[in-house]
Structure 1
Amino acid sequence: MASGKVRWLDQKRGYGFITSDDGDDVFLPASALPEGVSTLRKGTKVEFSIVDGRKGPQAMDVTLVGPTASIIKATRPSPDDMTAIVEDLIKLLDGAGNTLRRHRYPSPAESRKLAKLLRAVADDFDVQD
């Protein structure tokens, strides 16, 4: 049996790809997933059989090797770093609040910057187990 990691899987499309331990991409149809499993996260370790499909190697009889990897959890900043980030974000939001109290919105450039920072910090807090 071959082994590798899920590169991506799109449940809506019904397929994805596995990167084998040899470095090859293997087509992963959703029908090859174990019963009761409808999706896998990027980086999940799997074992599988390989058959020749119409467009190249295709995975069959996929089994999960270990727990699902959490990319978000692995790349989160440390709590000490997050403290500094949140405190800086509070200062930026306070400045935006002062501008709004003067009955004006921040400039479009400042608004885009603030929105981008808010999304980035939200992503660091959003851990999907």
Structure 2
Amino acid sequence: MPTGKVKWYDADKGFGFLSQEDGEDVYVRSSALPAGVEGLKAGQRVEFGIASGRRGPQALSLKLIEPPPSLTKAQGRRETPAEHKHSPDELHGMVEDMITLLEGAVQPELRKGRYPDRKTARRVSEVVRAVARELDA
């Protein structure tokens, strides 16, 4: 079975592409994933069965060689606690700004029964993560 790496995979759309070590890119659908696997991470090493389709090579079955990196394991490796980068007064301002951002960008969309667009969601999540990292330090 050929091996390669995940080039990209979109779990929402249910497909992506693998890059072979010696060949062209291979299309992979969610039905080719092993049982219990919801999606793939870019750069993840995989082994796959391949067939030629109308639009090029397609993965029929897929086996994970390396599991995706675990976020909890990566956080557990932190040997020394991080220093606080901001004073409590600065952090207070950051929290106020975060609340204002949530009230202005996220709540109106949720009230309309929709999630915020992807660009807004990414921006808001970066701000929330930054504040959370500072509180966690």
Q: Which residue of 1 aligns with 2:86?
A: 88
Q: Structure 1 residues 93 and 71, CA, compared in 2 at 3 Å: closer, same or farther?
A: closer
Separation of aligned partners in 2, 1:46 and 1:9? 13
Structure 2: segments with no counterpart, 5+ residues:
101-123
How far off is 1:93 after superposition?
A: 2.4
Question: C-alpha root-mean-square deviation of aligned residues, in Å?
Answer: 4.0
Q: Is 1:43–1:69's contact at 8 Å kept on the other side of the alignment?
A: no
Percent identical residues: 36
How far off is 1:27 after superposition?
A: 0.8
Letter in 1 for 2:82: T
How does the TM-score come out when normalised to structure 2? 0.55
Q: Which residue of 1 aligns with 2:49?
A: 49
Matched positions, count: 108
How does the TM-score come out when normalised to structure 1? 0.57
Q: Does 1:33 align with 2:42?
A: no
Please list the CA deviations of residues 81-113 of structure 1 after superposition, one character each: whole Å capped at 9, or x if unmatched.
x834x423755324568x99xxxx8xxxxxxxx
What SS class does the counterpart of residue 17 from structure 1 fall into?
strand
Separation of aligned partners in 2, 1:23 and 1:71? 32
Separation of aligned partners in 2, 1:118 and 1:57? 41
How far off is 1:22 after superposition?
A: 2.9
Q: Which residue of 2 aligns with 1:58?
A: 58
Q: Structure 1 residues 45 and 55, CA, compared in 2 at 3 Å: closer, same or farther?
A: same
